[in-house]
Amino acid sequence: MYKCLVCETEFDSFMTFGKMPIANGFLTSEDFKNEFFYELEIGACPNCSMVQLVRQPEREMMFHEDYAFFSSTSEKQRVHFKTLSDEILDLINANDPFVVEIGCNDGIMLEHISKKQIRHLGIEPSTNVAEVAADKGVNTISEFFDYELAKKIKDEYGNASVISASNVMCHIPYLDSVVKGVKELIGDSGVFIFEDPYLIDILEKTSYDQIYDEHVFYFSITSLAKMFDKYDLEIFDVKRINVHGGSMRYYVAQKDTKHVSVDVEKMSEVEKYNEVDKLSTYQNLKTKIERSKEELNNIIRKIKTDGKRIVGYGATSKSTTITNFCGIGPDEIDFISDTTPIKQDKYSPGTHIPVKRYEEFKECYPDYALLFAWNHAEEIMAKEEEFTKAGGKWIMYVPNIEVIDDIL
């Protein structure tokens, strides 16, 4: 039995994925012998419906001076966060607004706020990405956000007009401290905007590669509304967004201070219809995940029997779950191509598939590309017409296992 990180109710996990390394822990061959592994296991709380990992590596093992995820590597993400910054700029009507971002990474969002000379603060514990943000003119501190830090920020800067947190709330197991900190910092009238991969998308697409160490929570409105209620906070709007394979953006304020949009009710109904509060939903998910693994392995086995070459496209953190869970290694995949310099000339976590520069993919096309960065399919497809024209095929595994000529 495990204890819910939110409400402390005891529950059993519904699935274990076996031993997993750090999802973003790309490594050199010298590091193989010291590689850290833990058991990746997930459950759903029968009381508050929060879907969660039952254990997570120490935060310092994931977020540090060599953090491998740089937000700005995708054009789509750059556009997405420019749009979010515009929305925030429209929202702030205070005299001297103050915008805080938790997990600002390389400044992909805050750089636009900074350019407008608006008081702001980015909180980013991974110092390498924080330095990139600082170089862009973003006021950054390298710390982990929690209640204590929120109080310090409030003392120094006053209340935040907006706190933004993208793809980071779901990373933090000490949610109680974070939510208390947010509540303290937004004061009476500030707004908290956060977004994370959405549970309904994971269920609909069987996108189980979202399940890895950094993602300790798989949020729904159902679970979050209950949680915020305890702090007299309220979700007053939601927006489904098409990033990271399907996410939800939540707008939160002090209870009864904002008009609650009909979309909150509508999406809660969708969640009820999808039975996010029933254990059977997760047992079904487990069955689908096991089927997906088997089908992917069958396809890969057949391709290898035919003597063809496969290259992975995008050394995503998500691919760590797929390769380790499905047992896909360098015998199946020659290398994974990725545009992020810090990942290149290293090996994939756990399975030790070489990660190479994108040019190596371009210079010698494989027969098949296994699309690990499926959430960037449109952007990649636009770039890879030549590969497709040359007869290259894409192996997809979300939402279904397919081999196709054209991604879209």
The residue with its CB nearest to ligand TMP is: 314
> Among 251-259, 263-271, 309-317, 389-397, which window interacts with ligand TMP (CB under 6 A)?
309-317
Euclidean distance between CA atoms 364 and 351, whole angstroms: 23
| Residue 6 interaction partner, one of ligand SAH, ligand TMP, Zn ion, none, beta carbon < 5-8 Å per kind | Zn ion
SS3 241: strand
DSSP string, 270-303: HHHHTTTT-HHHHHHHHHHHHHHHHHHHHHHHHH
Question: Of 288, 379, 388, 392, which lies in the binding site for ligand TMP, with binding defined by CB under 6 A?
Answer: 379
Question: Of 7, 141, 260, 279, which lies in the binding site for Zn ion, with binding defined by CB under 5 A?
Answer: 7
Question: Of 45, 68, 238, 300, which lies in the binding site for Zn ion, with binding defined by CB under 5 A?
Answer: 45
Cβ-based neighbours of 188, under 8 Å, separated by 6 or more: 254, 257
The CB density around residue 359, as the number of other CB atoms within 10 Å, is 11
Helix or strand run (H / E) with residue 309: none
Query: Would you say 71 or 323 has its CB closer to ligand SAH?
Result: 71
Interacting residues with ligand SAH (CB under 6 A):
63, 67, 69, 71, 102-103, 105, 108, 123-126, 129, 144-145, 166-168, 171-172
Number of residues that this document lists for the chain: 408
The residue with its CB nearest to ligand SAH is: 103
Question: Of 172, 376, 387, 395, which lies in the binding site for ligand TMP, with binding defined by CB under 6 A?
Answer: 376
Question: Of 297, 339, 388, 399, which lies in the binding site for ligand TMP, with binding defined by CB under 6 A?
Answer: 339
Our measurement of the distance from residue 61's CA atom to the centroid of its chain's CA atoms, rounded to an integer in Å, reads 17
Beta carbon of residue 4, minimum distance to ligand TMP (angstroms, whole number) = 27
Beta carbon of residue 59, minimum distance to ligand SAH (angstroms, whole number) = 6
The CB density around residue 1, as the number of other CB atoms within 10 Å, is 9
Query: Would you say 6 or 296 has its CB closer to ligand SAH?
Result: 6
Helix or strand run (H / E) with residue 362: helix 358-363
Strand order in the sheet with 13-20: 13-20, 38-44, 51-53, 217-218
Angle at 168 between CA 166 and CA 170, to 5 degrees: 115
> Among 26-34, 80-88, 101-109, 375-383, which window interacts with ligand TMP (CB under 6 A)?
375-383
